[in-house]
Amino acid sequence: QVQLQESGPGLVKPSETLSLTCTVSGYSITSRYYWGWIRQPPGKGLEWIGSIYHSGSTYYNPSLKSRVSISMDTSKNQFSLRLTSVTAADTAVYYCARDAFDIWGQGTMVTVSS
Amino acid sequence: DVVMTQSPLSLPVTLGQPASISCRSSQSLVYSDGYTYLNWFQQRPGQSPRRLIYKVSNRDSGVPDRFSGSGSGTDFTLKISRVEAEDVGVYYCMQGTHWPWTFGQGTKVEIK
């Protein structure tokens, strides 16, 4: 059974960098598929942040492209999100998901505040 | 970016009655491989989204057969044949044909 679990700080200060990790169990992230990040501000809809292909190619939402990076740690079967220069507008629940989002993590709330 | 427009945004329904949600894209979602990468998701209150339908009309494993997807090109529909109490939540369409992948605004389904 494939499972995804997000982890990382729940509070980040403005102008700092948000870093989250998604740990995948039950499947090797280098075998196949895209692995992505999606976020949802409180009370709002879903926004795709970016995805990394099993080969390592990355795809980002242009609205965030200058601030976002996604990487893989194959030894730990994890992929990670970095979002720089955060503001209050980056406050959201952050989800990791597989491929065309057939499997999701439970989500982690990140608040940007001083 | 491809804009996904859902309607209605709010859908009060009676238990046991059908429901239908429309999703329109600003450009064709047919990919060069011939497939149309249009998915539907359900998000129950307090839960992560769950994919119901992929590539327009394919139900994911475990999804009740009262959910069905249809459409082509730029016009798509999610139908619930008989709404049950557990169907309350927000439904999103999403296109995975063009980068960046984009979601609709969401349709909130509630029981009358």
Asked if A42 is an interface residue toward chain B (Cβ–Cβ < 8 A), one would say no
Instruction: Name every chain B residue with its beta carbon within 8 A of the beta carbon of A101.
Output: 39, 41, 49, 51, 94
Tell me how far apart the alpha carbons of residues B110 and B44 are, in angstroms, rounded to a whole number.
Answer: 11
Tell me how far apart the alpha carbons of residues A91 and A108 are, in angstroms, rounded to a whole number.
Answer: 11
List C-alpha distances in Å: B76 to A52, A107, B56, B60, B105: 28, 28, 7, 17, 14
Instruction: Name every chain A residue with its beta carbon within 8 A of the beta carbon of B37.
Output: 100
Q: What is the tens place of the pLDDT at every residue in B1-24?
A: 999 999 999 999 999 999 999 999
pLDDT in the model for residue A42: 97
Q: Assess contact for B52 and B7: CB atoms under 8 A.
A: no
Instruction: Name every chain A residue with its beta carbon within 8 A of the beta carbon of B48.
Output: 95, 104-107
Tell me how far apart the alpha carbons of residues B60 and B53 are, in angstroms, rounded to a whole number.
Answer: 6
Mutate to test the interface with A, among B10, B23, B43, B48 (most CBs of A within 10 A): B48
Handedness of CA B103, B54, A93, A63 (dihedral sign): negative
B47's CB contacts (< 8 A; 6+ apart) are B89
pLDDT at residue B109 is higher than 90: yes
Tell me how far apart the alpha carbons of residues B82 and B78 are, in angstroms, rounded to a whole number.
Answer: 12
Instruction: Name every chain B residue with its beta carbon within 8 A of the beta carbon of A95.
Output: 48-49
Q: What is the tens place of the pLDDT at every residue in B36-92?
A: 999 999 999 999 999 999 999 999 999 999 999 999 999 999 999 999 999 999 999
SS3 state at A28: coil
Average pLDDT, consecutive stretches of 10 residues, N- to C-terminus, chain A (114 residues): 96 98 95 95 96 93 93 96 97 95 96 97
pLDDT in the model for residue A100: 85
Q: What is the tens place of the pLDDT at every residue in A58-88?
A: 999 999 978 999 999 999 999 999 999 999 9
Smallest CA–CA distance, residue B1 to chain A, in Å, is 9
Q: Assess contact for B42 and B50: CB atoms under 8 A.
A: yes
Q: Which of A51, A102, A106 sits opposite B60 (nearest CB)?
A: A102
pLDDT in the model for residue A65: 78
pLDDT in the model for residue A21: 98
Q: Assess contact for A104 and A52: CB atoms under 8 A.
A: no
**B39–A95 C-beta distance less than 8 A:** no
pLDDT in the model for residue A99: 86
Q: What residue of B is the nearest CA neighbor of A105?
A: B48
Asked if A19 is an interface residue toward chain B (Cβ–Cβ < 8 A), one would say no
Handedness of CA A96, B43, B82, B29 (dihedral sign): negative
